[in-house]
Amino acid sequence: MADKSGKTTSSKRTVALKTRPGNGDVDAFLAGIEDEAKRADSQVLMDMMNRVTGRDAVMWGSSIIGFGTYTYTYADGRSAQWMVTGFSPRKTALTVYVMPGFSAYDRQLSRLGRYKTGKSCLYIKRLSDVDLDVLEAIVADAYRHMKENYPD
């Protein structure tokens, strides 16, 4: 496609998201969590996601810890990169990112414990509120699903 000056341009555009992977120090971020229980829960989540994904933790923006990346394309052809899974120790809850959403996880969610969901976010107040084996199974299955549908 040509622009007004006659130069050829690509019809594919990349979206510049505000939250991107960076060079933040994951360990320093975790050490800076004031709430001792949330800090401990965050360490458990980090270890579990590292084990499940085989990927190192990476800071995304200033408060999200992500594992792996994938590129998705919007209907208009624009593309963006995002983490395959991750979490954020937010003030009100631990937010676990389950990128395929929750429609395939009704059975597991019925056994998970206390939580809330958003489109791709699982909100957990404390890890003691949930069955960690069920949480790990959800994260592992979601990661597998994403890697099958968005290979590197």
Instruction: Give the residue carrying structure tokens 């069920």.
Output: 134
Question: Helices 36-53 & 132-149, crossing angle to 10 degrees?
Answer: 40
Q: What is the pLDDT of residue 74?
A: 81
As a CATH number, domain 26-149 is 3.90.1150.200
Q: What is the pLDDT of residue 20?
A: 58
Question: Which H/E stretch holds residue 63?
Answer: none
Sheet with 94-98, strands from edge to edge, namely: 58-60, 64-73, 79-89, 94-98, 121-124, 116-117
Give the pLDDT of the chain (152 residues) as one tens digit per residue.
333 434 333 445 544 445 555 778 999 999 999 999 999 999 999 999 999 999 999 999 899 999 999 988 888 888 888 899 999 999 999 999 999 999 999 999 999 999 999 999 999 999 999 999 999 999 999 999 999 998 87
Structure tokens at 58: 């990476």
pTM recorded for the entire structure: 0.83
CB contact at 8 A, 128 and 150: no
What single-letter amino acid sits at 65?
A: I
Instruction: Give DSSP secondary structure letters for 10-51.
Output: -S--B---SS-B----HHHHHHT-SSHHHHHHHHHHHHHHHH
DSSP assignment, residue 139? H
CB contact at 8 A, 120 and 100: yes
CB contact at 8 A, 68 and 84: yes
Structure tokens at 35: 């709430």
Closest CA to 86 of 137, 122, 125: 122
